[in-house]
Structure 1
Amino acid sequence: MNTHFTDPQLILVNGKIWSANRASQNSPTALAVSGDRIIAVGSDRDMLSLKKRNTRIIDARGNRILPGLMDAHTHLSLYAARKLQIDLTDCTTLPEALHRIRERVEQADPGSWIVGGGWDYTRWGLEDFPDKRLLDEISTRHFIALQSKDWHSLWVNSAVLQLCRIDETVEDPPGGAIRRYPGSREPSGVLQERAGEVVYQSIAPPTLEEIYPALQETFGEFLRLGITGVHSVESPYEFAHYRQLYERGELGLRVFWYFPIRFLGREAEEGFGAYRGDHFLKICGVKMFADGALGSQTAEMLEPYQGLEHRGVAVMSAEELEEHIRRSVEQRLACAVHAIGDAANRKVLRALGKVAQTSRKAGLRHRIEHAQLLHPDDIPLFARYGVIASMQPMHLAYDVPLIERYWGSRGRHAYAWGSLRKSGARLIFGSDTPIETFDPWKGLYAAVARKPGNDPAQPSFYPEESIPVEEALAAYTHHSAHAVGEEAHLGSLEPGKLADFIAIDRDIFQAPSEILLDTSVLLTVRNGTIAYASEDGLIL
């Protein structure tokens, strides 16, 4: 028995506790909790010997017990806000999407904003992006702005273009592209990367009161899936909401926050200058973009896209990127850099390599967000420079057709989890919600099976790049905790660590990988408190 404190208020017995980085046949069966910490892990007999008069006993019924999962890449408030907006994610045709937009417009006052997103023109069978005329036929008396599924293209009507003064005379901004009609300078109504920033700045975000019900619903959805913490990239405005909820005892998830680079140096002005946080709400670093995305064909490539004559968009030049990274390191802030194309990943790795030694001494854990396509020569640089690969398995599940269409044979090193692990790199996994589902069991299956559409009947996409379920689970637990400097407190079930753990209804280590798709959470304990219990699960 391994103990840390005494007097538990909760003891869980008859479980199969996953420990270290593997599923062991001789794993512990029980643990004890006092306050917000695990105080002991061992056998049922040893744990029950610690029982006091008011200790609550939970019978795990032989089910697997895992650390609380951590989604390492979310936009938490934006997912909640989408509940208040038009969601086009499930629209399979253009007419269906236009009908949904029209319904919302008919309910809104003229002059109001109609916002939302989730559209994917390739899913609609279109050969090119939709244009403003489709939205103008619905309304020019409302301001319509709809994000693409990958968030890197913004579809707007003429009213928005006029409001933001985007016309034939306006040049593409640095790091952005205004799509135009063929043979013309007239904007078509799709703004990519930084070209959309002027529109976003014109849209008022929801207040805490407006978004509060959606946030509480969102927290519950995460907890029901076994997620107790998230890494989130959002503005200081959303972070202020989290601070208010935390102070009121209403923040349902641990939030580890990365703020956009444009706020670096403005911390005091934005109200978070002296705050660094704790194990529940913490400022971890700075987010910046090196390029765009595959879906919008704006990811920065070493060679042109297959069938196209361009190499994507460099949202930041190498010089600009290096300067931002230098400033961040000077302020002892880790960098989380978005890079999808092979050129962008090379650019970011080289920039982070220049500060690798300084960063190690300062304890900074830099990361590349997405790292979707890598040149094989660059894969060893993650381990060499101590750069974490922050990746989202569900992107692969739905990107395979785009990879084959636009990257061709280069797709051999897309989502190269196996190669990265063999090179010694640290992987962390997330969802990028609301772009993809944050269901971690689907994400685990995508990492292990690499099936297009997460369909078990499909052949695996470069199966040599799959990883075992134990390694995929580590990317959702102690590796994600390590990335935000919380490995001494979260990510594994050991005495002295915070009591975040879950019980699931499948033994995911002993069954075919397809069982992950049917896995359900029976119990979620966060910070020593039962945060979710299924009605047909464990007897509490």
Structure 2
Amino acid sequence: MRIHKFPFLTAVVILLTIAACSTPKKEPATLLIYGGPIYTVDTTQAVVEAVATKDNIILFAGSLEEAEAYKGEQTKVIDLQGRTMTPGLIEGHGHFMGLGYNEMNLDLINTTSYQEIVDAVAERVKTAEPGEWITGRGWHQSKWDEMPEETVKGFQTHDLLSSVSPDNPVYLRHASGHAGFANAKAMEISGLKLLPQEGIDEFEVEGGEVIRDDLGRPTGVFNERAQTLITRQIPESTPETDRKAFELAVAACQRDGITGFHDAGIGREAIALFEQMKAEGKMNVRLYTMLTGWDKELLQEWYERGPLVDPDHLLTIRSVKLNCDGALGSRGAWLLESYSDRPGHFGHETLPMDFVKETALNGLQHGFQVCSHAIGDRANREILDRYEAAFKELPELTNDHRYRIEHAQHLHPEDIPRFAELGVIPAMQAVHLSSDRPWAIDRLGEKRIKEGAYMWQSLLESGIPIVNGTDVPVEPLNPIPSFYASVTRKTLKGNPDGGYEPKERMTRDQALKSYTLDAAYGAFEEEIKGSITPGKLADFTIYNQDLMTVPEEDILRTEVVMTIFDGRIVYEKTD
């Protein structure tokens, strides 16, 4: 019997044609990334083989086989070659221009003695013009290997510094930014007398303190708001230096895998600069900025104007930063009980709490998030009280306020659950534990340390996310030490065994989330970034090794080798 094949073949061709037409054609990707573990921070698929992007948007995340369908003639392919990728990291609390200027001025963050500071200034004096200001930042007396012979209230005195810089005014900010150290020339220019005058006290400053010796002479250390006695004399920056600092800050972010940055307190000049840089196409990091609470006129102008939520997701202004107490290192943190190593001293309330309540109400009424700096347990309690009072006064406006407390470093145990109850987000810098915990116990005593210091896991378990970061330039921008501190609770030298108060450690998943999706949530941006999810922005950080699985002792060897921002490679390590 003869079989007629052609009608059958024709039918098969028709069916295949119909099937091909019914299958949607994949949009060609501009980037296809594969070849190593890719951690998405997306609960639907925690780890994927490949990611495809179109311009600055993620098209696909999943298996390599499926991702190949997005490959076109113009697709750039990146083989990770075993390296690891995560969502682009977000610095959850830093000072952007401070980061840039820190790269231009004396960087004292790694100094281990007073003598090293003096030597650094002496070296700068050699190239400085007479009368030229020498500025720097980063010293921290509690981190020195040894203290000088002469100290007052735990701080060095200016005599040795002044002796190497007789013709140059010098002002060196403490690592925390909450204190500063001036030489004799700087105090002279500021009109301050080195010998006390009878009946005159020119050193009294509300919300601050000038450290003086037993004879009433200034030691050169200016705490909290007393810093203005000196800083008002320092020449203002120029448009040229501001631009340079901005560009240096962007480059630093790219080197460290930072694609988003929460800038904790900006004024008019910074706003104008950021807008100009965006217009010129130089905004190669996503800035989420907080208006400084020191400028009440600026706040009022923005209340009337309303938040700026940038459709390009490059420059957003929708929050207010309030500075409510000082730092623990300079004994400026506002405490419920006095300092263990300075009885009778409780720190400083650097902003009236009535203004915190007023700002909390204004934030609710005008659509602005409020972010309040609080390190001491009393500052945290007072701010939670003011937030709560505002929420009760305007309950209809509290559905999604996402108010924050920046640092939330030392808490009374009774206040820990209040964060989740009130929906207040703690923005905490884990690396501060590595730097501060060895000496913080001297300030607070063992009981307060163990019950309320750096309470990450307790806060997470209560149901509130944590925004992580470094507070750069207080600490270096590099996110790896903060990740390490989050999961080990050790110093960067690996001490002590088991970590400080180990029950409060984060898991590695929690730590990564605190630098990505939870940080995005802290800025109302979790729908557009923070995880490798189709439809979100194509921001990625690539590392030389798998920081999620390497042994704990190897975490600090992790390096950022590539940063992808807005779908473009903006940094690639060459050596």
The TM-score with structure 1 as length reference comes to 0.92
Residue aligning to 2:98:
78
Gaps of 5+ in 1: none
More deviation in 351-360 or 252-261?
351-360
- How do residues 47-86 of structure 1 correspond to structure 2 at under 5 angstroms? 47-86=67-106
Counterpart of 1:283?
317
Residues 302 and 361 from structure 1, CA distance in 2 versus in 1: closer, same or farther, beyond 3 angstroms?
A: closer
CA contact 2:58–2:533 (8 Å) conserved in 1? yes
CA contact (8 A) 2:426 2:466 kept: yes
Larger radius of gyration: 2
Q: CA deviation at 1:267?
A: 5.7
2:567 aligned partner:
528
Q: Which residue of 1 aligns with 2:58?
A: 38
2-structure distance, mates of 1:437, 1:85: 14
Equivalent residue for 1:298? 332
Q: CA deviation at 1:392?
A: 0.7
Kindly tell me: are residues 515 and 179 of structure 1, through their superposed partners in 2, closer, same or farther at Cα, counting changes over 3 Å? same
Aligned length in residues: 532
1:326 aligns with 2:361: yes
SS at match of 1:373: coil
Which of 416, 421, 438 aligns to 1:379? It is: 416
Q: Distance in 1 between matches of 2:444 and 2:72?
A: 62
Superposition deviation, residue 450 in structure 1:
0.4
TM-aligned CA deviation for residue 490 of structure 1: 0.5
Task: Give per-residue Cα distances to partners, 1:321-352, cap 9 Å, x unaligned.
Answer: 22233333333211111111111111111111
Q: CA deviation at 1:5?
A: 8.0
Out of 469, 476, 479, which is 1:440 matched to? 479
Cα deviation, 1:424-478, whole Å, max 9, x if unaligned, reads 1210101011111221111111010001234266441000110101001100001
For 2:247, the equivalent position in structure 1 comes to 216
- In the TM superposition, what is the alpha-carbon distance from 1:274 to its structure 2 partner? 7.1
Q: Which amino acid aligns with 1:382?
A: F
Q: 2:147 aligned with 1:125, yes or no?
A: yes
The worse-fitting range, judged by mean Cα deviation, of 55-64 and 28-37 is 55-64
In the alignment, is residue 188 of structure 1 matched against residue 219 of structure 2? yes
Structure 1 residue 211 displacement after superposition = 4.4
Q: Match for 1:490 among 505, 514, 529?
A: 529
CA separation of 1:269 and 1:284: change in aligned 2, threshold 3 A:
closer
> Which of 411, 415, 433 does residue 449 from structure 2 map onto?
411
% identical equivalent positions:
31
Q: 1:138 to 1:469 in 2, by over 3 A?
A: same
Q: Which deviates more from structure 2 when the two are superposed, residues 274-283 or residues 150-159?
A: 274-283
Superimposed CA distance per residue, residues 394-423 of structure 1 (whole angstroms, 9 cap, x where no aligned partner): 111011222121111211121110111111
Quick one: which amino acid aligns to residue 227 of structure 1?
A: I
| 8 Å contact from structure 1 (residues 146, 154) kept in 2 | yes
Distance 1:243 1:220 in 2: 18
Per mean C-alpha deviation after superposition, the further-off stretch among 461-470 and 211-220 is 211-220
Q: 2:47 aligns with which of 7, 21, 27?
A: 27
1:10 CA displacement: 1.3
Deviation at 1:131, TM superposition (A): 2.5
Structure 2 match to 1:254: 286
- Report the equivalent of 1:174: 206
Report the equivalent of 2:275: 243
CA distance in 1, matches of 2:496, 2:383: 37
**Alignment match, 1:17:** 38
Q: Tell me, yes or no, if the aligned pair for 1:267 and 1:273 is still in contact at 8 Å.
A: no
Equivalents in 2 of 1:23, 1:91: separation in Å? 46
Q: Which moved more, 1:527-536 or 1:208-217?
A: 208-217
Q: Deviations over 1:145-170 (max 9, x none)?
A: 11112111111133333443445522
Distance 1:366 1:336 in 2: 6
Q: Where does residue 399 of structure 1 map in the other structure?
A: 436
Q: Distance in 1 between matches of 2:36 and 2:127?
A: 52
2:502 match? 463
Deviation at 1:530, TM superposition (A): 1.1
Letter in 2 for 1:195: A
- 1:158 aligned partner: 184
Q: Equivalents in 1 of 2:44, 2:449: separation in Å?
A: 32
Cα-Cα RMSD: 2.6
Distance 1:535 1:82, change over 3 A: closer
Structure 2 gap segments, 5+ residues each: 1-23
Determine if the alignment matches structure 1 residue 142 to structure 2 residue 162: no
* AA partner of residue 329 (structure 1): L
| 2:311 equivalent to 1:311 | no
- Return the letter of the residue paired with 1:484: A
CA distance in 2, matches of 1:466, 1:485: 26
Q: Secondary structure at the match of 2:409?
A: coil
In 2, Cα distance between equivalents of 1:275 and 1:330: 12
Is the 1:81–1:206 Cα contact (8 Å) retained in structure 2?
A: no
Given that 1:356 and 1:386 are in contact with CA atoms closer than 8 Å, whether structure 2 keeps it comes out as no
Distance in 1, matches of 2:433 and 2:166, equals 37
Letter of the structure 2 residue corresponding to residue 473 of structure 1: L
- TM-score, normalised to structure 2, is 0.86
Deviations 1:487-538 (A, max 9, x none): 11010011111100122232233332333211123332110111122337xx
What is the CA–CA distance in structure 1 between the aligned matches of 2:108 and 2:434, rounded to whole Å?
Answer: 19
Supply the distance in 2 between the matched residues of 1:170 and 1:21 (Cα, whole angstroms).
57
